[in-house]
Structure 1
Amino acid sequence: MSFLDIIQRFDPQQVGADIMACSASDVERALGAERLSDADFMALLSPAAENHLEELARKASRITRRRFGNTILLYAPLYLSNECSNGCRYCGFSADNRLPRRTLAPDEIEAEARVLADQGFQHVLLLTGEAPRAAGVDYLEAAVRRVRPFFSSIGIEVFPMSRQDYARLIAAGVDSLTLYQETYNPELYAEMHPYGRKRDFAWRLEAPERGAAAGMRRIGIGSLLGLGDFRTDAFFTGLHGRYLARHYWRSLLTISFPRLRPADGGFQPRVPVGDRQFVQLICAMRLWLHDAGLVLSTRERAELRDNLLPLGITQMSAGSCTAPGGYAQGEHEGQQFAIDDDRSPAEFAAMLRRRGFDPVWKDWDAAFQPAAGKGAA
């Protein structure tokens, strides 16, 4: 049974209504539970839980320190291409937007990698739009092999692939996959993706399973906060994470919390997520998934990122640029979204140490990677 089979049992509108109907007593019951039921998770995501935010934060912090200590894994995104054939209404890379399109050549890719490696990064995340003719699987495989000498861990955040293509990239040096479903509401998903390959909801939803089955060491998921009802999407993200953790237990799980940021095209969040609600979602996810890595990017402002450190976050990016060529050439035109924390990696690492956290530049080496295709199902 795939997660698609599970999610089809739920009506998103009813899930949203059930979350909104949760009471203070439901929240108190959930806070007292060691392992949460679906109803408990709903309660912690509900408006009623906002009045219990301090207790929620304390418990999330205790669980995080018990599981992860004071370590924060640092990574950097490396955008290879902003060419895209999808019409996503919310994305700066949308084919509808007029912006300078660029796909990095091999020497440019290596130049970007050298800058990041010189800054200390050992974990890199390669990103593209979805334009198979410009940046397909062949291109990605060549890019991975080009940057492999510089990093101990290489992740991808690109278009969904077959299990065979994931296995091919693992053989080239990839060990982690990040793929956001964007929204778990099929109707909203169809509205937000009017054309392009990304319109296929099921193909995207089941991609993390194909990646895990191919042998990805780490699988990352998330939904775009502000695209629709963020409480409902957070609930389904949590269900998805629990499913992957149970069925593909050889792969580590991470959850990201991307709030929509300004981008070309002018899309505005339909349901803005305030800072208190953002904190609530992160803490609730920690209580739901004790062992998952929780990821926070430079989408968020520096002050908020610093204050979220004790509450459950375990992985963070630093010094990021979301346009191809942004590191070696200082290119910022054609970016996917605007960043809000522009501190350098060294400045960010120094802040972590001042606050009692240990910045981790490397927690994995490609030499440990097992043969592709050995994932558990």
Structure 2
Amino acid sequence: MNSVVSRSLVEKPFIDRDKLYGLLDAHEPSPVRLGELLDKALKLGGLELSEVAELLRVESSEGIRRIMEAARLVKQEIYGKRLVLFAPLYVANYCDNNCVYCGFRKANSSLNRVALNLGEVRQEVEALLRQGHKRLLMLMGESEKTTLDYFIETIRTAYSVRVGEQNIRRINVEIAPLTVEDFARLKKENIGTYACFQETYDPVAYKKFHPSGPKSDYEWRLLVMDRAMEGCIDDVGIGALFGLADYRFEVLALIEHARHLEAAFGCGPHTVSVPRLEPAEGAPLASRPPHPVSDEDFKKLVAVIRLALPYTGIILSTRESEELRNELFNYGVSQISAGSRTNPGAYDEDHPESGAQFSLGDHRSLEEVISCLIDQGYVPSFCTGCYRKGRVGADFMDLAKPGLIKAYCLPNALFTFAEYLGDFASQDVRARGMALIRRLAETEVPESRREKTLAELDSIAAGHRDVYF
């Protein structure tokens, strides 16, 4: 594998700007052709780049409705009624970059800069544990003031925190690109997925929006996942910040990136994130996106990604409104943040105010989000079983593509949800949640695991914790 990877690091970058824009320069497919594309997508084998471009060219309301319905069916077939929940934990907002859309940018002199000390990290994690969180995404800006050594210490601290019997079971990370050697160091810290977003895959736009700082190097960022996977990171998460360039181009580039990783490493990205540009204090461009993405186009792009990459998780943040998030759960999203804050120290009520990266659209607490998910028939999942059992990277995909992962995912989701209900939920949420768990355990869990699942749910009710297949 390493020889393949080494070649990929020196070859011409895999994003061909002219080719991707050229694929968008054609007519909308006919209703008959659209039907052929959707029939192929419903076979759960994904789509070719040119086929994705055809879907992105659909503009008619009826055509978009058909795309959304196909995405709903694919989402249901692969993910069922599970939605994985996590919380972002920002440990520092120092940054040496000048990304013109970001509140953390170096030129933002109005931002209150903070790098949490380990005691403050501990307080943040304690606050999140008391809410019921089990999965974290840890983040920080790119700065000489906050080194990889510092970040590793914050990870170790977060893992060490206990509140009664509660602890964080898995930490995913989103930090600036590293060398292969530094990724190997990060791997040793028991992390889950490493995420890093290209922001925009358009190299012309990228140069304009990233005028200075280490992030101004387009190719260094573009090849970050090659280095991460060469450094033995099993699961990686890619993404684009929609609003900087034509959203259709960005979707094609994400698909191209996924295909590149599949070809080079035998495994594509574990997740794709779809943040939209949102207002940020001290970053005027964030309030006037160069290529604004309407809610309708946003829903379409999520659906198209689900059809193109059926087994790749799609992450939706609290940038989006409660109403839009609730709708998108049906059409492709499989992981969501809940009760989020984007400024360091924000979960600890006694911590002084610090500057946020961007503004939020969904301000609900974790329990409010969970209550709403129950009403929609979704199982809020805090599962970390696959990470801890070693079902990661290519091994995970080998189970996912033939549908074998379902035997683990739904039971594990039910177990973690039952734990949450028993330890944190109000009486009303607990009653409605337990009714949902029992119904799904008896009707949706594969028969081969149903008896064991029901027995483990009884053990959780009796006080056992951290049960997973």
The two structures share one fold, judged by TM-score above 0.5: yes
Amino acid corresponding to residue 349 of structure 1 in structure 2: I
- Aligned counterpart, 2:441: none
Instruction: Give CA-to-partner distance per residue, 1:179-201, whole Å, 9 cap, x none.
Output: 00011111111111111100111
Task: Give 1:228 deviation, angstroms.
Answer: 1.2
- Counterpart code for 1:259: R
CA distance in 2, matches of 1:176, 1:36: 24
Match of 1:15 among 11, 20, 23: 20
Pick the aligned partner of 1:89 from 88, 96, 100.
Answer: 100
Partner of 2:382: 361
Q: Give the secondary-structure state (helix, strand or coil) at the position aligned to 1:172.
A: coil
1:73 counterpart SS class: strand
Is 1:121 the counterpart of 2:133? The answer is yes
| Larger of the two Rg values belongs to structure | 2
What's the secondary structure of 2:236's corresponding residue?
strand
Alignment of 1:36-47 (within 5 A): 36-47=47-58
Separation in structure 2 between the aligned mates of residue 86 and residue 141 of structure 1, nearest angstrom: 21
Q: Deviations over 1:109-140 (max 9, x none)?
A: 111111112211111011111102x2111001
- Compute the displacement of 1:369 (Å): 5.5
The answer as to whether partners of 1:50 and 1:277 remain within 8 angstroms in 2 is no
The residue type paired with residue 136 of structure 2 is: V
Matches within 5 A, 1:146-295: 146-149=157-160, 150-249=167-266, 253-264=270-281, 265-267=283-285, 268-295=288-315
Report 1 or 2 for greater relative contact order, CA contacts < 8 Å, sequence distance ≥ 6.
1
Equivalent position amino acid for 2:321 in 1:
R
2:112 partner SS: coil
Q: Is the 8 A contact 2:83 2:380 kept in 1?
A: yes
Aligned pair count reads 373
Pick from 65, 76, 90: which aligns with 1:54?
Answer: 65
TM-score in terms of structure 1 length:
0.92
Q: Which runs of 5+ in 2 are unaligned?
A: 1-6, 161-166, 396-469
- SS of match in other structure, 1:135: coil
Cα 1:4–1:306 shift into 2, 3 Å: farther
Task: Compute the displacement of 1:218 (Å).
Answer: 2.3
Change (3 A) 1:160 1:57: same
Residue deviations 1:74-107 (CA, integer Å, cap 9, x gap) = 0110001110011111111000112111100000
Q: Which is further off, 190-199 or 204-213?
A: 204-213
Question: Identity of paired residues, percent?
Answer: 32
* Residue segments in structure 1 that go unaligned for 5+ positions in a row: none
Give the distance between the partners of 2:89 and 2:29, measured in 1 at CA.
Answer: 44
- Give the aligned partner of residue 83 of structure 2: 72
Task: Answer yes or no: is the 8 Å Cα contact 2:97–2:142 preserved in 1.
Answer: yes
Shift of 1:366: 6.2
Q: Give 3-state SS (helix, strand or coil) of 1:112's partner.
A: helix
Q: Given that residues 95 and 141 in structure 2 are in contact (C-alpha distance below 8 angstroms), is that contact kept between their aligned partners in structure 1? A: yes
**CA RMSD for the aligned pairs?**
2.5
Shift in CA distance, 9/359, structure 1 to aligned 2, threshold 3 Å: closer
Q: Distance in 1 between matches of 2:79 and 2:356?
A: 33
Q: Is the 8 A contact 1:263 1:337 kept in 2?
A: yes
CA gap 1:245/1:343 in 2 versus in 1, 3 angstroms: farther
Verify the 8 A CA contact 1:244 1:253 in the aligned structure 2.
no
Residues 1:9 and 1:126: Cα distance change in structure 2 (over 3 Å): closer
Deviation digits for residues 202-235 of structure 1 (CA, Å, limit 9, x no counterpart):
1111111222232323211111100111110111
Return closer, same or farther for 1:367/1:285 CA change in 2, 3 Å cut-off.
Answer: closer
Q: Which AA in structure 1 matches 2:277?
A: L
Query: Partner of 1:33: helix, strand, or coil?
Result: helix
Match of residue 368 from structure 2: 347
Structure 1 position 18, deviation (Å): 2.9
**What's the TM-score, normalizing by structure 2?**
0.75
Contact 2:75 2:310 in 1 (8 A): yes
Q: Is the 8 A contact 2:215 2:221 kept in 1?
A: yes
Q: 2:328: which partner in 1? A: 308
- Find out whether 1:2 has 2:8 as its counterpart: yes
| Cα gap change, 1:154 to 1:205, in 2 (>3 Å) | same
User: Paired residue for 2:344?
Assistant: 324
Among 93, 108, 113, the alignment partner of 1:101 is: 113
Between the aligned partners of 1:359 and 1:9, the Cα distance in structure 2 is 36
Cα pair distance change 1:24/1:365, threshold 3 Å: closer
Query: How has the CA–CA distance of structure 1 residues 193 and 4 changed in structure 2, closer, same or farther, with 3 Å as cutoff?
Result: farther
Shift, 1:174, TM fit: 1.5
**Retained in 2: the 8 A contact 1:145–1:173?**
no
